[in-house]
């Protein structure tokens, strides 16, 4: 009989798109991901996948895989321990920290990577049991400035419909490589080749996306605030403002419009390094667009004036009325909200603004190292690698060393795990059910619970199990609590959901206990077991968004709809559409108190005035280059894959540099340089590229982690070069794309 190939559905875990994949398992033990292809049944990616997905076996079979819990010895080496000992000792040590210094000194970092958000969904039980209050994640070094602005102006967060726009703008974003929008390369090519549509890219580098653009605004590094101010000036001065939209949906318009009207246009263009005519043309095209869609990302969010730029970018969207119509901006029905909670609290030690519930990443080390009664004493790090990914790795290592207890939950011995007291090994994302809440599609929004592909090896556990065991060791989840739900479960999913909903409504503590209780009491097939927590989310959605769920086929009472959605999640291995929105609903989702868009933000208008009056102040003659530390390239994926040989290109992570700069330094392509910043100095090979402008150099993201078979680490870890105090004054986000640097030829 001819062998038939058994393709199993799963997803790519290397960027937030999480494209649906089909994978053929094989190899000696049947545990290798031998062939991969896009899954046509996936509702969002529809068969799309980029080159990186084909290399996922390098994640599953990474070089630093953890196979047993580890405890650090006094000499810094690790010894294997069994799970019972690990859980007992971790619970005891964290309890001791809580009882001595207060649970609010136990800091939680991470909870989800590009492919896995279930750890974060299970973590509340343990966090609350310990009285832990402060937390953070990578979002607080990229998106919090944008969240803060968006929350104040709109009371919500928008995404854009690039599929149907006639004018697309990418601001500090290279979706050709970084994606973030579904089927990015297909969509980019479609816009590019259609003469009726215009692609505008703002990037100092001639990126792959810029190559496709109709207009490339090759701004000087870090000067986006002046460029956007100039563009907005044109829109106001030439009255390309959408008055009908603003009259109907906005308030406090005048101050912003007046500020933009009086901006010195020609000077702003000069600071941005761009020709006035080109800036004017781009602004007019946006102002006259039928449907304008726009996306800002790290090029501006990890740069100078980042929060101001996020504000100016929002003004471009709002003043042109680019919301609530096909091809413009929308507010999707999401399962989990990432934004919200705009800076009403301050961090306990340095008083930094807490945005979206997150302490700014750049102050975490200070919050640990300060001499302060409320300094953090312990840290739980889950599915993140902050000793590599946060600014100033050296300082972060010092901070880790100053903690009483560090617990790391990861699949691999990472740069962070090396500094832990306990390392708890997790099953990989193919050895358990996993999912993300990066579900932002519109009008149909989809969710994908990927069943596990194979059993986990002995010695590792899924995070759901780790959290349940810790919760039991902490004494907050007991058999008495589980019994009534076990009994309901035996009667079926609807009685179970009714019992759960009754408890969630009547007992506030149940909100945080529920993840562990659901995981312990719901009887699910082994390959989707870790999906238990989703029942609570499905029920919540059914109460909050009955119409949107009903349109997706999940109608009836909220209990019926929630249960039906949950069942669909468990039995749709290629993903399921869970909500169907309508464009007419978008503007009703403005979440400000009065339901209106608040156009003028006085503090940011003041900052705009200051910038345009005094001009940029970003040059330091000791450091004549601007280093962008962390570019997304063909084979980068944060530090998810730790085997450098997964990279088919650019294995050493070259420093990209303009040919004239190279000539001035006497360097030829591949030549080696010493790259020095305020915080560090490294030796790195160069790639000479006319895509770079003079004075701007760029290093890839995620390098300098993991190791080759020969033990060598590939490339430069970018945060050996970055500084904690180089951060935005409003949101605290780092200036990783604008690191002052010096370059000398090396031998």
Ligand X SMILES: Nc1nc2c(c(=O)[nH]1)N[C@H]1C(S)=C(S)[C@@H](COP(=O)(O)OP(=O)(O)OC[C@H]3O[C@@H](n4cnc5c(=O)[nH]c(N)nc54)[C@H](O)[C@@H]3O)O[C@H]1N2
488 binds ligand SF4 (CB under 6 A): no
Binding partner of residue 647 among ligand X, ligand SF4, none, CB cut-off 5 to 8 Å per kind: none
Beta strands in 292-443 (DSSP E): 292-296, 329-330, 342-346, 353-355, 378-382, 405-410, 422-425
Q: By CB under 6 A, tell whether 95 contacts ligand SF4.
A: no
Which secondary-structure segment (H or E) carries 609? helix 602-614
User: Strand 672-677 relative to strand 681-688: parallel, antiparallel, unpaired?
Assistant: antiparallel
Nearest-5° angle of CA 273, CA 199, CA 735? 50
User: In which element (H, E) is residue 59 found?
Assistant: helix 57-60
Q: Which does 574 bind (CB under 5 to 8 A by kind): ligand SF4, ligand X, none?
A: none
Q: Which is nearer to ligand X, 386 or 653 (CB)?
A: 386
49 binds, among ligand X, ligand SF4, none (CB under 5 to 8 A by kind): ligand SF4
For position 742 contacting ligand SF4 by CB under 6 A, the verdict is no
**144, interface contact from ligand X, ligand SF4, none, CB < 5-8 Å by kind:** none
> Residue 739 pairs with which residues in a beta bridge?
627
The one of ligand X, ligand SF4, none whose footprint includes residue 19, by CB under 5 to 8 A per kind, is: ligand SF4
E strand or H helix at 626, and its extent? strand 625-631
Which listed range, 48-56, 186-194, 402-410, 449-457, lies at the site for ligand SF4 (CB under 6 A)? Answer: 48-56
339: three-class secondary structure by DSSP: coil
Q: Under the criterion CB under 6 A, does residue 36 sit at the interface with ligand SF4?
A: no
Contact criterion met (CB below 8 Å) for 460 and 427? yes
Residues that bind ligand X (CB under 6 A): 15, 113-114, 116, 119, 138, 141-142, 171-174, 177-180, 202-205, 207, 219, 221-222, 224, 297-300, 302-303, 382-386, 389, 409-412, 414, 426, 428-429, 463, 628-632, 636-640, 701-702, 718-719, 722, 736-737
**Residue among 8, 10, 17, 605 that touches ligand SF4 (CB under 6 A):** 17
* Residue 655 C-beta-side C-alpha neighbours within 13 Å: 33
Using CA atoms, how far apart are residues 266 and 244, in angstroms rounded to an integer? 29
Given ligand X, ligand SF4, none, residue 173, with its beta carbon under 5 to 8 Å by kind, binds: ligand X
- Verify binding: residue 272, ligand SF4, rule CB under 6 A: no
Say whether residue 15 binds ligand SF4 (CB under 6 A). yes
Pick between residue 226 and residue 430 the one whose CB is nearest to ligand SF4. 430
Which token pair is 543? 């109460």
User: From the CB of 616, what's the least distance to ligand X, in Å?
Assistant: 11
CB of 633 to ligand SF4, least distance (A): 12
Interface pick for ligand SF4 out of 52, 117, 280, 304 (rule CB under 6 A)? 52
* Residue 60 contact partner, candidates ligand X, ligand SF4, none, CB within 5 to 8 A by sort of partner: none
Does position 274 interact with ligand SF4 (CB under 6 A)? The reply is no
What is the rounded CA–CA span in Å between residue 438 and residue 100? Answer: 38
**In this chain, which of 98, 135, 173, 179 binds ligand SF4, going by CB under 6 A?**
179
339-378 footprint of ligand SF4 as x/- string (CB under 6 A): ----------------------------------------
Here the tokens at position 732 are 């605290």
Told to check if 600 binds ligand SF4 by CB under 6 A, we report no
Output the smallest distance, CB 707 to ligand X, in A.
Answer: 13
In whole angstroms, what is the distance from residue 670 CA to residue 399 CA? 36
685: β partners: 672
Strands 342-346 and 353-355, bridge-based pairing: antiparallel
| CA gap 666, 643 in Å, rounded | 33
Pick what 702 binds: ligand SF4, ligand X, none; C-beta below 5 to 8 Å, kind-dependent. Answer: ligand X
Is there a contact between 141 and 45 (Cβ–Cβ < 8 Å)?
no
By C-beta, is 381 or 513 nearer to ligand X?
A: 381
Tell me the C-alpha distance between 356 and 144, whole Å: 7
Q: Give the shortest CB-17-to-ligand SF4 separation in angstroms.
A: 4
Give CB contacts under 8 A, 24+ apart, made by 523-526.
Answer: 523/489, 524/570, 525/570, 526/452
Nearest CA among 645, 686, 641 for reference residue 668: 686
E strands in 96-222: 106-110, 135-136, 159-160, 167-171, 198-202, 215-217
For ligand SF4 (CB under 6 A), the number of binding residues is 11
* Ramachandran class of 18: left when φ > 0, alpha when ψ lies in -120 to 50, beta otherwise: left
Instruction: Rank residues 115 and 443 by Cβ distance to ligand X and give the closer one.
Output: 115
Where does this chain bind ligand SF4 (CB under 6 A)?
12, 14-15, 17-19, 49-50, 52-53, 179
């Amino acid at each position: 009989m001819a062998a038939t190939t058994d393709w199993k559905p799963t997803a790519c875990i290397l960027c937030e798109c999480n494209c649906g994949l089909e994978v053929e398992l094989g190899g000696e033990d049947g545990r290798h991901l031998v062939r991969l292809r896009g899954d046509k049944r996936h509702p969002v990616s529809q068969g799309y996948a980029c080159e990186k997905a084909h290399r996922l076996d390098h994640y599953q079979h990474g070089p630093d895989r953890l196979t047993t819990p580890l405890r650090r010895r006094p000499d810094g080496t690790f010894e294997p321990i069994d799970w019972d000992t690990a859980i007992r000792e971790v619970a005891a040590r964290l309890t001791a920290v809580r009882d001595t210094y207060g649970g609010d000194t136990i800091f939680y970092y991470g909870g989800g990577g590009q492919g896995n958000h279930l750890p974060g969904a299970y973590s509340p039980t343990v966090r609350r049991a310990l009285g832990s209050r402060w937390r953070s994640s990578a979002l607080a070094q990229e998106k919090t400035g944008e969240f803060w602005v968006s929350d104040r102006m709109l009371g919500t967060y928008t995404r854009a419909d690039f599929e149907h726009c006639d004018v697309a703008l990418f601001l500090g974003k290279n979706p050709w490589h970084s994606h973030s929008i579904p089927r990015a390369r297909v969509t980019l090519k479609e816009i590019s080749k259609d003469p009726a549509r215009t692609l505008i890219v703002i990037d100092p580098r001639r990126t792959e996306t810029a190559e496709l653009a109709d207009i490339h605004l090759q701004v000087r590094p870090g000067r986006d605030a002046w460029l956007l101010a100039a563009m907005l000036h044109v829109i106001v001065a030439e009255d390309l403002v959408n008055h009908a939209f603003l009259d109907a949906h906005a308030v406090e318009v005048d101050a912003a419009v007046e500020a933009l009207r009086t901006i010195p246009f020609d000077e702003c263009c000069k600071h941005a390094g761009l020709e006035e005519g080109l800036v004017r043309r781009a602004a007019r095209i946006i102002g006259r667009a039928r449907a304008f869609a726009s996306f800002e990302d790290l090029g501006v969010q990890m740069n100078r004036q980042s929060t101001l730029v996020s504000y100016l970018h929002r003004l471009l969207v709002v003043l042109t009325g680019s919301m609530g119509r096909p091809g413009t901006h929308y507010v999707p029905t999401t399962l989990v909200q990432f934004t919200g909670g705009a800076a009403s609290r301050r961090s306990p030690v340095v008083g930094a603004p807490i945005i979206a519930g997150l302490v700014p990443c750049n102050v975490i080390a200070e919050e640990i190292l300060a001499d302060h009664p409320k300094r953090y004493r312990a840290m739980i790090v889950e599915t993140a690698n902050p000793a590599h990914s946060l600014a100033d790795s050296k300082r972060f290592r010092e901070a880790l060393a100053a903690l009483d207890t560090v617990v790391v939950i990861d699949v691999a011995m990472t740069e962070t795990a090396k500094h832990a007291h306990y390392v708890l090994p997790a099953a990989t994302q193919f050895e358990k059910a996993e999912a993300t809440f990066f579900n932002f599609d519109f009008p149909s929004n989809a969710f994908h619970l990927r069943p596990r592909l194979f059993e986990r090896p002995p010695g590792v556990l899924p995070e759901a199990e780790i959290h349940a065991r810790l919760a039991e060791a902490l004494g907050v989840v007991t058999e008495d609590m589980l019994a009534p739900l076990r009994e309901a479960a035996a009667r079926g999913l609807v009685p179970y959901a009714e019992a759960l909903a009754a408890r969630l409504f009547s007992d506030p503590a149940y909100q945080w206990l529920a993840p562990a209780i659901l995981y312990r009491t719901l009887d699910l097939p082994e390959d989707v077991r870790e999906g238990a927590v989703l029942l609570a989310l499905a029920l919540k959605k059914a109460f909050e968004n009955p119409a949107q769920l009903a349109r997706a086929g999940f109608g009836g009472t909220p209990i019926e709809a929630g249960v039906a959605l949950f069942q669909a999640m468990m039995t749709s291995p290629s993903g399921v559409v869970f909500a169907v929105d309508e464009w007419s609903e978008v503007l009703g989702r403005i979440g400000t108190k009065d339901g209106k868009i608040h156009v003028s933000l006085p503090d940011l208008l003041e900052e705009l005035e200051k910038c345009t009056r005094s001009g940029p102040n970003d040059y330091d003659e000791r450091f004549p280059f601007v280093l962008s530390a962390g570019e997304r390239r063909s084979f980068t994926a944060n530090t998810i894959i730790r085997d450098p040989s997964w990279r088919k290109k650019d294995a050493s992570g070259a420093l990209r540099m303009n040919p004239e700069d190279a000539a001035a330094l006497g360097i030829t392509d591949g030549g080696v340089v010493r790259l020095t910043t305020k915080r560090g100095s490294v030796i790195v090979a160069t790639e000479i590229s006319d895509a770079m402008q003079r004075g701007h150099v760029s290093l890839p993201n995620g390098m300098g982690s993991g190791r080759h078979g020969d033990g060598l680490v590939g490339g430069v870890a970018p945060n050996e070069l970055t500084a904690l105090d180089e951060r935005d004054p409003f949101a605290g986000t780092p200036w990783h794309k604008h690191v002052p640097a010096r370059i000398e030829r090396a031998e």
